[in-house]
Amino acid sequence: MSNEFSPEVQKYIEKGEKILAHQEKRRQEMKKKKFDTIAVHGIYGVEEALEHQGSLLEPTFFTPAQQFADSNHLEAVNAYVMPGWAYTRIINPTITYLEETLALLEGYGYKGDTGAAAFSSGMAAIYMATNPFIENPEPGTNIVVDAKCYGGTFMLLSRYSRENGIEVRWVTDSANTEDWVQKVDDKTRFVYAEMPSNPGLSLVDLEAIAVLAHDHGIPLIVDSTLTTPALMRPIALGADIVVHSVSKAMAGSGSAIAGAIISKMDIPSKVGTDEMKADFATYIKLLSRRDHGNNIAPMNAHFVLNDLRHLRARVDKMSKSAMKIAEFLETHENVESVGYPGLKSNSGHNLAKKYMWLADGSDDYGQEVNRYGYMMSFNVKGGVEKAKQVFDQFKMIFRATDLGRVKSVATLPAVSTHQQQGDEGRELASLPSNLVRLSVGMEHPDDIIDDLKQALDSVK
C-alpha cells in the first residue's frame, strides 16, 4: 500500500510505523498488568507524559482539527497510513486514550487482541455494532435478539424490521439455550444478547450461544453495560462484539454520556469486507463513524477516563450493597418479587454465579468472589398504582431514567425507559407495569434500605 505514495509521503509512513510500534509495545506491556493498573493508566505512561509537558493525566484536546506539517503529512494521515487525528469527528487523541483503555479492560484475561471505538451514546454504539450486518437483506434474512433488552434497543432493532425488511426473532426465554437454537438458521445475520438484561436482570448462557452463533458463521453481540468489565468480560467467554452504554457505571459520577464497541479480531460474518471482519472496531471507527458523525466529545471522554480509574472498587462496593438491599426487599410484605441475580431465588442465579466474578477478587478477598452488580428490580404488590405510590415516596433515592451512578436512582420502566415499545412489546419482554428498577449507588446500604422501607411501608 505504501508504494502508492510519493517518497515524501513515504517518510511520514515510516515515521507512523515507529509510532505504531511504540503504541503496540505499550499495549502489550499493559496487558500484563492488573485490572486496576490498566484502568488508571491505559496506554498513557511516563514517556507520553513527557511528550505533553509532563501532564500526569491524558491531555484533553478540545480543538476540532489537527495542524499538519505540510501537504505530505496531510495526505498520509487522511489516507490512514500514518497515525493522526485530522478531525475530531473521525479521531481525537483524548478519545483514543479512552478507546485504548476500554479495549484493554474488556480484553482483560483474553489471550487475543481487542479494539474499541467510542461513541456519543450507548444507543449510537448499538446502532454502529449492528447496522453493518443487515446490508443487502434477502428473503428470510433475520436477526435473533433477547426480547428482555433495554427499551431503546428494542425500538432500534424493531425498526430494522419495518425499515430494512429484516425479521427480528425475539427470544423470550433468555436462559433457555434451546429457545435460541430454534430461532437461529442459515439466514441469521447476528445473535444479540443483553447480560444481565435491563431492567429484568435476566441472564443467558453466553458460552452456549457463542458456540451456536459461530456454528452458523455469525457474530455474537453482547450488551454487558450492567456488569462492566469489572464483573464480566464476554469476549473471553466467546462473544465477538461487546457494546456498552459507557454513560452508566463506567462514568459513574454522572458527568458524561458515551457509548462504546469493543471487538475481538477476526469476527465471523456472512456480510462485510475482509477488512471489517479482521478488525471490526477499527473499521467502524475509521469508516462508519467517520460517515455517521457520532463520535464522542473529547470532554466526555475526559470525564469517562477519570471515572474508569476506580471502576472496580466502585462496582465492588455497589454490588455488595445491592446484595444486602435485595435481601431486604425479598422479605418486605409489600414486595411481590425481586429481580437480582445474586439471590438464590432468582431463576438466573446459577448462570450469574458461573459468569459474574469480580476482576482480581482474590487479591482483595483471598479467593475469587462472585459479584452480582448494582442494579435490581422489584415488583410492588397491588399493581401499577401501588408501585407509583412507592416510587413517589422516595426521599433520598433519585427518580430518573438513569443507572450506574454513585447516587441511587430508581425509575418505573413501563412509563419511562420502555414506554414506547407499547403493551405488546412489554409483554414480550415480560416487563410488568408494577416493576421498579433500582440502581444502587455508593451511599451506605442502611440508608438506602431506610428510604425503601419508609416508601414501601407507606402503601396501605
Domains annotated for the chain, with CATH where assigned, are 89-308 (3.40.640.10), 311-457 (3.90.1150.10)
Residue of 312, 333, 323, 337 lying closest to 374 (CA atoms) = 323
**Percent of the chain clearing pLDDT 70 (strictly above):** 96
Residue of 29, 15, 162 lying closest to 82 (CA atoms) = 15
Taking residues 242-259, report their average pLDDT: 96
Label the pairing between strands 188-194 and 435-439.
unpaired
Who contacts 344 (Cβ-Cβ below 8 Å, separation ≥6)? none
Cα–Cα distance for residue pair 308/304, rounded to 1 Å = 6
96: cell is: 483514543
CA–CA distances in Å: residue 208 to residues 177, 181, 235, 241, 426: 7, 10, 13, 16, 26
pLDDT at 199: 85
Average pLDDT in the chain = 94
CA–CA distances in Å: residue 318 to residues 315, 341, 343, 443: 5, 14, 15, 8
Residue 453 amino acid letter: K
pLDDT at 420: 67
The pTM of this model reads 0.94
Residue 397 amino acid letter: I
Q: How far is CA 177 from the centre of its chain?
A: 22
Per-residue confidence band for 191, with pLDDT thresholds at 50, 70 and 90: very high
Per-residue confidence band for 2, with pLDDT thresholds at 50, 70 and 90: very low
Maximum alpha-carbon separation in the chain: 82
Determine phi and psi for 408, rounding to 5 degrees: -70, 140
Per-residue confidence band for 361, with pLDDT thresholds at 50, 70 and 90: very high
Q: How far is CA 351 from the centre of its chain?
A: 19
Positive or negative, the CA dihedral 19, 20, 22, 23 is positive
Positive or negative, the CA dihedral 404, 405, 410, 412 is negative
pLDDT at 427: 67
Taking residues 373-391, report their average pLDDT: 94
Residue 84 neighbours by CB distance under 10 Å: 20
Strand locations in 298-456 (E) = 335-339, 375-380, 398-399, 409-411, 435-439
Please list the residues that pair with 116 across neighbouring strands. 262
Determine phi and psi for 18, rounding to 5 degrees: -65, -40
Who contacts 457 (Cβ-Cβ below 8 Å, separation ≥6)? 334
